[in-house]
Structure 1
């Protein structure tokens, strides 16, 4: 495994400044947003697709530093029945087009979340039993029909353009948020679809990412190096569901934290060891979203922890 980094954490830097910063940290691979709701500060997809000279210059900056693109990220909700959802969908297809031009074989995405019916416009994440009330089961079934139809179409488009892996991040609030939902989508669509295993999202729902890695053998296409912490005392009172904004970290029952500030290093060593046993030898892309400390402190803390635990 090799360490990469999601570059939105350096959104205040220009493309070349970001590359120099990442290189100074001892990292040679970058995951950049090229679609969806990410910053897209370092990868202007529309510009690179329309101007061959800018595309060439973009690639040359990577080459002269001995760096590479780990994946292009296009995480968003393309299933939202709205103008915004349509724009997300369009940006995802453009991301695939750019990946083809760049020779990038892997994109990272999220499954999306439809509305509850053909006449609804508000995405609904159904987390309670669908046995009651009576309207939940039809809504849940409808959502899966919409989700599967979109991903069959998108997977076919991506395959025609040389994409080998679509790594879907299991994210709370989308149709794929667990091992079971990941496998459901994969089995209903195409093996080009696998998981971007982000352990932090499993942690905050009470799942064990190490056990999940075993269950996902053969379809782990990407891994995010990201930690989370269930906040003692607060979660004991209110449980683990948390609607507060991530900026209100002091009052939340869980928070994304720098690697090693949620799970200890022994846990992370076991996690990467099991990933290796399950056949994963790809990139571990640091996604730093800790708002309890400065960006610099969070990045350095996470790199230190990952360098000590990753299975190289």
Structure 2
């Protein structure tokens, strides 16, 4: 497995500085954020070549946005832009394009799944010659209601999108905080995992007791190894499924400078995550 990180942690820094840090720190790969580091589709090739010039594998490019936005104008605009990025990413030879399904609160559950699945199938058809894989991260969204972010939701999408060029950026941290067993969840989708997000979650049981699941402050995202996930078990399980893709650290640990605070602390967090994951993989 390659180990990389998602550049969103450094969206306030130029990409050249970010890839220099990644290469000098010993990372194998990089996951580039569109919002922070690739503003337009015609910038994709230069960004990818910059990373490759530092001997970094570009594991994926990630584009945040609600693909089911209730505002039809915004939805059309986002999807047109997504389609443009898909072509540029495919042409650049990057294997995975990560997007987010979102949700239209005014539409039915079935309509949301049908609509998003139809759009993904259009993207798959458009990029057939590149073999580009599309993946969704299982982040539940700001209202904790994005479709396709739970085991049942994944199956709803996979039933509609049978092509294996659609899969998951599987992130165990989100599952922990919503009460889903990440090991059982991974078992059920082992053949649809395109990339793994390396992020953990810590839960303060006393705070949870005080405020309940709908309260705030009882959970925090953490760097790998600083939360509840049993990483040796998790990565042994992934390896047992012949997963040999990228482990992409998504650093959102407030104890190490996130979001956008002390730069040296953010870098320290990335290095700690890298060292931890290397040690786990070496011990499997």
State if a TM-score over 0.5 links the two structures.
yes
TM superposition shift of 1:289: 0.8
Query: Following the alignment from structure 1 to structure 2, what is the Cα–Cα distance between the partners of residues 58 and 144?
Result: 33
Runs (4+) of structure 1 moved beyond 4 Å? Answer: 57-60
Query: Following the alignment from structure 1 to structure 2, what is the Cα–Cα distance between the partners of residues 63 and 220?
Result: 24
- 1:34-81 Cα deviation digits (max 9, x unpaired): 3xxxx332x2333426xxxxx4x5454334321221111123211102
Q: 151, 168, 174: which is aligned to 1:179? A: 151
- Alignment partner, residue 205 of structure 1: 178
SS in 2 for 1:24: helix
CA contact (8 A) 1:106 1:167 kept: yes
Which structure has more helix as a fraction of its residues? 2
- Alignment partner, residue 11 of structure 1: 11
Count of residue pairs brought into register by the alignment = 269
Query: Following the alignment from structure 1 to structure 2, what is the Cα–Cα distance between the partners of residues 64 and 297?
Result: 24
Over aligned residue pairs, what C-alpha RMSD do you find?
Answer: 2.1
Change (3 A) 1:59 1:203: closer
Superposed counterparts of 1:66-77, under 5 Å: 66-77=55-66
Matched, 1:287 2:260: no
Query: Following the alignment from structure 1 to structure 2, what is the Cα–Cα distance between the partners of residues 269 and 6?
Result: 21
Q: 122, 129, 135: which is aligned to 1:167? A: 135
- Alignment partner, residue 40 of structure 1: 36
Query: Following the alignment from structure 1 to structure 2, what is the Cα–Cα distance between the partners of residues 238 and 65?
Result: 47
SS in 2 for 1:166: strand
Superposed counterparts of 1:144-293, under 5 Å: 144-158=113-127, 160-172=128-140, 173-191=145-163, 192-241=165-214, 252-263=217-228, 267-293=230-256
Higher Rg: 1
Query: Following the alignment from structure 1 to structure 2, what is the Cα–Cα distance between the partners of residues 271 and 58?
Result: 32
**Unaligned 5+ runs, structure 1:** 50-54, 118-138, 243-250
Superposed counterparts of 1:115-154, under 5 Å: 115-117=105-107, 139-154=108-123
TM superposition shift of 1:161: 4.5
SS in 1 for 2:104: coil
Change (3 A) 1:155 1:200: same
CA contact (8 A) 1:105 1:164 kept: yes
CA contact (8 A) 1:171 1:177 kept: yes
SS in 2 for 1:204: helix
Query: Following the alignment from structure 1 to structure 2, what is the Cα–Cα distance between the partners of residues 19 and 226?
Result: 20
TM superposition shift of 1:202: 0.4
CA contact (8 A) 1:168 1:194 kept: yes
- Alignment partner, residue 101 of structure 1: 91
Query: Following the alignment from structure 1 to structure 2, what is the Cα–Cα distance between the partners of residues 31 and 224?
Result: 10
